Amino acid sequence: MQTPSLVRKCLAVGILLLLIGTTGISSTTLTRNTHLNQTEETIQGVVPQPQGHHPVWLNSHSDAQGSRASSHPPSTDVEWITYGGYNVNSLGVVGGYEPWEGAIRLTPQELSPYDGWSIVSVKYFHGYQGMAYPDPPSHGNMKIYGTGSATDPGVVLDSEPFWTPEGNAWFQFNLSNPVIINASQDYWFSVEILNQTAGDYPLGVDAGPAEDGKGDFCELGEGNWNELQMYGLDWNWNHMVGLAPPSTLPPPIVHGPTDGWTHAPYTFWIDPITTPDEDQFYVKWDWGDGDTSEWLGPYSSGSAASASHTWTHAGVFGVRAKLAVGGNESDWSEPHAITIEESGPPLKPLISGPHVGRVGVAYNFTVSLTDPEGDEFFYKWDWGDGNSSGWLGPFASGQTVTVSHAWSKTGTYSILVKAKDPYGVESISEPFIIQIVKLKVSFAFGSFNNRSETDDLIIVHTNVLLLFPSHSLLSLGRTIVVAKQYLGFFDSFLFGGIFQAALLTENP
């Protein structure tokens, strides 16, 4: 099937597929070939050698060893179709090339016994990888094409990314979106390689000969599909497609809350599941906001299962779940509706404490916050003198929190408190003003119209005030602060004596 002109053209554009182990290659390549031969020996119990060149159906134990499983549930009762056999070599592209694909074609001839079944899993042999882990792993997409023809695949029905951290191994990927088979159509399974570098040979092949029109298609980035035989390579890709019968599992019933707030986690659960033969089961959740979970589990037969989710925007969402047992999946459950309302920022914290204090004395301040959503909170104090507390908490909604602070210099300070809920949404208090003074021994006499106290100070709003010698003044309508220990008198409207005193700043 190969023509010299086609080969020359492929060599000219640098996309000719290379064979590891071909006569005349370097000693380095021969070393790689030896490594591949050793790998072949390690997997002889994994993939049985086909007799002839027809699709081979592998039993559920064929993947017992040597596979690289994905995060999807293991498909233990899957029937496998492949045109390949022992992995004897691997193919790459001259100089590295991206992207390119290798595919097998499944026709109604192979699929007729499986009408209504689902393609639930795929796997391929990942060949020689020159770049050792933890260098960038091989990256690509597993693709299922539908409604194909004898020469070209149809539309992409499912495409899922993969990464393989090492080579010379079977790599399995269980589809998150199984494809239901219409046995009157062709389906293609392709492995798309996105980051092949020079010296890598990512796709494994058998010893051939190729199954014409089925086992050896490739596309080298130009939109044209050809068979490997066009390049003189008479082999089949070691690609496999795993099929599972139609589901006989009833969908689960979802339970959980019916209303909530954004940014808060809510837990949902299903009733205990009893499976045939006491098999373990897996659960996948659809949260109704475009987000679905991975397959969670395994869970033992007879047990319940639960999962939690947080919504970031308001709305009405339908939470659904589905089961998987041995590669057989149920339909999605009926949606369980939950109404999520927007969670606003915390209310402003309310500060209480003294508005007057002395230099070097620690004073207590309290803060409280009651939130209609019942969230816990963290608090952060800014003392206005360049010091802050850092985030403290969490504290329950409505809980009173007390902290203390001392100032080293006189002045007027603005205290602020930030509140933060568990989701990082913040609010800030109104400024709380405190004057810090330094008391001096003074003679004071005057009349007053208002008197108040803190733990250690008396605050007097005067009508007439004589203060000497600390301030040497006679004033009207000033506010004086004195210590509670003094030599003098206070009656209903007059005071006088020797005090430790200071005047407060007007209109701080």
For residues 161 and 233, membership in a common domain is answered with yes
pLDDT above 70 coverage of the chain, percent: 81
Of 200, 215, 244, which marks where a domain is finished? Answer: 244
- Answer whether residue 21 shows pLDDT above 90: no
The reply to whether 102 and 189 lie within a common domain is: yes
Q: Are 423 and 377 in contact (CB under 8 A)?
A: no
CATH number at residue 419: 2.60.40.10
Domain edge (last residue) among 341, 368, 398: 341
431 and 316 together in one domain: no
In terms of domains, do 499 and 447 share one? yes
Q: What is the mean pLDDT of residues 280-302?
A: 93
239-267 average pLDDT score: 88
8 A C-beta contact, residue 136 and residue 96? no
Residues 138 and 230 in one domain: yes
pLDDT on residue 47: 30
> Bridge partners of 123?
172, 240
DSSP summary character for residue 142: E
* pLDDT confidence of residue 327: 66
pLDDT score for 48: 28
Domain presence at residue 363: yes
Q: Is the pLDDT of residue 23 over 70?
A: no
pLDDT band at 201 (very low <50, low <70, confident <90, very high): confident
Mean pLDDT to the nearest integer, 117-141: 77
Mean pLDDT throughout 328-350?
A: 87
Shared domain for 42 and 147, answered yes or no, is yes
Rounded Cα distance, 171 and 161, in Å: 13
CA distance 42 to 21: 19
- For residues 106 and 187, the answer to whether their CB atoms sit within 8 Å is yes
The whole-number pLDDT of residue 184 equals: 93
For residue 155, the model assigns a pLDDT of 94
| CA–CA distance, 40 with 85 (Å, rounded to integer) | 11
Instruction: Provide mean pLDDT across the span 282-291.
Output: 95
Is-contact 428 396, C-beta < 8 A?
no
Spatial strand order in the sheet of 401-405: 350-352, 363-368, 401-405
The answer to whether position 249 is within a domain reads no
Q: Average pLDDT, whole number, for the chain?
A: 80
Q: How many CA atoms are closer than 13 Å to the CA of 379, on its beta-carbon side?
A: 26
Tell which residue, 218, 137, 141, 128, has the closest CA to residue 169.
128
Q: Does one domain contain both 121 and 143? A: yes
Which residues span the domain enclosing 80?
4-244
Q: Do 89 and 190 have their domain in common?
A: yes
CB contact at 8 A, 65 and 47:
no
Q: Do 230 and 328 share a structural domain?
A: no
Buried b (16+ CB within 10 A) or exposed e, 274-313: ebeeeebbbbbbbbbbeeeeebebbbebeeebebebbbee
What distance in Å separates the CA atoms of residue 81 and residue 160, rounded to the nearest whole number?
Answer: 20
Per-residue pLDDT at 121 exceeds 60: yes
Residue 270 and residue 284 in contact, taking contact as beta carbons nearer than 8 Å: no
Please say which residue of 306, 341, 376 terminates a domain: 341
Q: For residue 68, which of 125, 153, 18 has the smallest C-alpha distance?
A: 125
Range name among 94-98, 128-132, 182-186, 420-424 with the lowest pLDDT average: 128-132
pLDDT in tens, 31-76: 222 233 333 322 222 232 232 322 322 222 223 222 322 333 444 4
Residue 508 lies in a domain: no
Res. 11: pLDDT tops 70:
no
Task: Confirm if 107 and 68 have CB atoms less than 8 A apart.
Answer: no
| Total number of domains in the chain | 4
Residue 180 scores a pLDDT above 60? yes
Segment 144-168 shows an average pLDDT of 88
Q: Same structural domain for residues 41 and 156?
A: yes
Question: Per the domain annotation, does 21 fall within a domain?
Answer: yes
* Together in a domain, 125 and 95: yes
Q: Using CB atoms within 10 A of its CB, is residue 96 exposed (0-12), middle (13-18) or buried (19+)?
A: middle
Same domain, 38 and 161: yes
| 403 domain residue, yes or no | yes
- Is residue 189 situated within a structural domain? yes
